[in-house]
Amino acid sequence: MWFPGPVLFRIGPIPINTLGASVALATLFGLWLINREAKRQGIQADYMVEFAIYCVLGGVLGARLWFVLFKWPYYAAHPAEIFMVWMGGLAIQGGILGGTLVGIWLAKKHKLPVWQVADIVAPALILGMAIGRISDFLTGDAYGIPSDSILAVSYPPGTFVYNIFGSTPVLPMPLFEAIGDLIIFGFLLLIKYRKPFQGFLFLQMLALYSTLRFTLEFWRGDSLRTLLNLKVAQLTALATIILAIGFMIGRYRQMKAAHRE
Question: What letter would DSSP give residue 252?
Answer: H
Among candidate residues 91, 87, 89, the one with its CA nearest the CA of residue 63: 91
Q: Is 133 annotated as a binding residue?
A: yes
- Cα(155)–Cα(102) distance, integer angstroms: 36
Give Cα 109 distance to the centre of its chain: 24
CB atoms within 10 A of CB 178: 20
> Coil, helix or strand for 220?
strand
Residues 133, 213, 19, CA angle at the centre, nearest 5°? 20
Give Cα 26 distance to the centre of its chain: 10
DSSP labels for 188-216?
HHHHTTS-SSTTHHHHHHHHHHHHHHHHH
Among candidate residues 72, 67, 86, 98, the one with its CA nearest the CA of residue 233: 67
Known binding-site residue numbers? 133
